Chains A and B, each alone.
Chain A
Amino acid sequence: MTELVLPHHAAGRRIPLIGEAAIALAFAAAGALGYFLFPDDLAFLTRLIGIAFLVLSLDLVTGYCGIATLGHAALFGGAAYAVGAACIRGISDPFALLAIGLCSGAVLGLVSGALISRFRGLPQLVLSIAIGQLVAGLANKLQWLTGGSDGLSGLEPGKVFGVFGFDMYSRTAFLLSFTVLAITFLLLRRVVNSPFGLMCRGIKDDSLRARMMGASIYPRFVIMYGIAGAVAGLGGALTAMSTGVVGLDSVSFERSAEVLVMLVLGGAGHLWGALIGSVIFMLFEHIVAAANPFHWMTLVGLLLILIVVFAPRGLIGPLTALCARLFSREKKT
């Protein structure tokens, strides 16, 4: 996606934090909508939020750094297993578990980033797959820690703030996940618009020119991988806590491929794109895959081909173009 150029407007004098406040409001509205309109589907919505973390994390690596990876579920699943193992061994405070997920995700991200971002093209892809499979293999074999093919089940995290317990309707889990997602999204927006984030995007668009400017590529990519790992780790931790189980599917190759599809569907290189993609994909999967998994695969494949050929910027592309046009027309009049 080399032709993808994102305009960046330096922020003028405005009320400080107004953008953040608007986004927080939008999130609150969407959360309230989900909470009150679909009170029976909160478990599914919580699962969706967990995956959205992973897609956001992949966006940081693939969308902003241009690293093609097919092993990203390793970060998510690794953190989920860490949280599960800690929870079974008696750490039950949800925030402590979240911190464990975040840290283990970040460590996994730094390690795999240090290996993967050294290369480009085929070696990079194969390394990312091999790391993903390595983690999956470990999760399957280290039975004393991960429960092997049965996974970890019966996780019972404690009450949030000592008041709100995790119930069978996933109310607490949904609200907690949603709040964490909103905060993470706001922070990530800062990260990708910071000089560091802009430099990563610049390296992706033209790494030779970036090197000529004196930017060192490798450390930036490793740091970005670490941040992405932390985000994926949060998602893994929230999923483990809300469902109470951690299984091999959370580290599987299919999971890695699916989140890549979600990201591209929404639009790589754009945080909103990652969210939109995960929501649309998961909703469709919820409805279609239940009917016939092979029709679902055909549809996903067709969709992916169509997107790559006709809308390489994802669904967010036309949307942002529309916004830009409205914005410029406003300016002219």
Chain B
Amino acid sequence: MGLVLSILTDALAYGMVLFIISIGLSIMMGLMRVVNLAHGAFAMIGGYLASYAMRNLGVDYGVAILIAVLGAIAASVPFELLLYRRIYRNADPLIQVLMTIGITFFIIGIVNFVFGPTVKSIPLPAALNGPADLGFRMIPTHRLFVIACGVVTALGLWWLVEKTEFGIRLRAAVDNSGMADALGIRTEIVYGATFALAIGLGAFGGVVGAEILPIEPFYALRYMVTFLVVVSVGGAGSILGALSASMLLGLADTTGKYLAPEFGEFFFYLAVIVTVVLFPHGLLGKAHA
């Protein structure tokens, strides 16, 4: 019983981290049809910035998260203006893969040159450090915090996409970009805002998930595959899809690590292959023309 509960909390927290980081990538893929392999690199920028802000500038955890998110968005602007614009929607996948891998390598090199190639810890504030008593069980407070962040992110995104003016424009651009353009929706602005949102979410997830996915020099390469797999399994552009895929993969991975540590990764990728072959557009994704 205890084992099952600890597997479940760990899986839930891990899945939420995956969700917060991958949902930005998923929205980008749904709207701009860009296979952005550099998404993890922006999450890494966020992590490095937060670590630097907390340990060298001595700011609060909350302020550090803000610095990380805004800093990552600011760092991503030149990439959006100069590079990503070229590959929105109409380029073939090979070009997208090559360009975003190039961006990943570039960012890894630059970030490690600026901040030094070591593992970056992001110290937790006292309120999140230590166990929380749930009455029947003690679990680490940080896990609870991550799960709460994930739930808030999911609800916030749902509200943004379904209930706001921006969401209407966004959905119009996803369904038919040319027609949305013709109806007077400034799709470049929608694209730009979505890009910033995606990067910001990535950086946010990178910082709050640093306990589970440690920020290290090759972070962007190590987890590139994982984030891409979440999007592919969940279906590009679907919030619910990304959430369920994150939970599923988090559960599969955590269970594998607890019960069969020597074969965990093997079954993880086997599950991915089976899912992708059976559902090429993801569990909840729609086929794009």
Interface size, chain B (Cβ < 8 Å): 44
Interface size, chain A (Cβ < 8 Å): 48
With an 8 A cutoff between CB atoms, is B92 at the interface?
yes
Shortest beta-carbon distance, B80 to chain A, in Å? Answer: 14
Contact between chains at A257 and B101 (CB < 8 Å): yes
For chain B residues 231-264, which have a beta carbon within 8 Å of chain A?
231-232, 236, 262-263
Residues of the B chain whose Cβ atoms lie less than 8 Å from the Cβ of A66: 92, 94
Residues on B lying within 8 angstroms of A by beta carbon are 29, 35, 83, 86, 92-95, 97-99, 101-110, 112-113, 117, 217, 221, 225, 228-229, 231-232, 236, 262-263, 265-266, 269-270, 272-273, 276-277, 280-281
Residues of the A chain whose Cβ atoms lie less than 8 Å from the Cβ of B101: 257, 260-261, 301, 304
Contact between chains at B112 and A126 (CB < 8 Å): no
With an 8 A cutoff between CB atoms, is A19 at the interface?
no
Contact between chains at A127 and B277 (CB < 8 Å): yes
Q: Which 8 A-B pairs have the closest CB atoms?
A: A298-B109, A301-B106, A304-B102, A301-B105, A297-B109, A126-B232, A305-B102, A123-B280
Shortest beta-carbon distance, A242 to chain B, in Å? Answer: 28
The one of B92, B108, B217, B276 in contact with A126, judged by C-beta atoms closer than 8 angstroms, is B276
Total A-B residue contacts, Cβ distance less than 8 Å: 134
The one of B92, B110, B232 in contact with A122, judged by C-beta atoms closer than 8 angstroms, is B232
Residues of the B chain whose Cβ atoms lie less than 8 Å from the Cβ of A304: 98-99, 101-102, 105
**A134/B269 contact (C-beta < 8 A), A122-B93, A253-B225, A301-B103 known:** yes
Q: How far is the CA of A253 from the CA of B220 in the complex (A)?
A: 13
Contact between chains at A305 and B276 (CB < 8 Å): no
Residues of the A chain whose Cβ atoms lie less than 8 Å from the Cβ of B107: 301
Residue contacts A-B, CB under 8 angstroms, 26 given: A1-B92, A68-B94, A115-B277, A121-B93, A123-B232, A125-B35, A129-B229, A130-B229, A133-B265, A134-B269, A138-B266, A253-B225, A260-B98, A261-B102, A294-B113, A296-B109, A297-B112, A298-B106, A298-B108, A299-B109, A301-B109, A302-B102, A303-B102, A305-B99, A307-B98, A308-B98
Q: Which residue of the partner chain B has the closest CB to A312?
A: B95
Residues of the A chain whose Cβ atoms lie less than 8 Å from the Cβ of B231: 122
Q: How far is the CA of A137 from the CA of B225 in the complex (A)?
A: 14
Q: How far is the CA of A307 from the CA of B101 in the complex (A)?
A: 12
**Interface bits A234-268 vs B (CB < 8 Å: 1, else 0):** 00000000000000000001100100110010001
Further 20 A-B residue pairs, CB within 8 A, beyond A122-B228, A122-B231, A131-B269: A62-B94, A68-B93, A68-B97, A122-B93, A125-B35, A125-B93, A125-B228, A126-B272, A127-B273, A130-B229, A137-B266, A141-B263, A260-B98, A295-B109, A299-B109, A301-B102, A304-B99, A304-B105, A308-B102, A309-B86
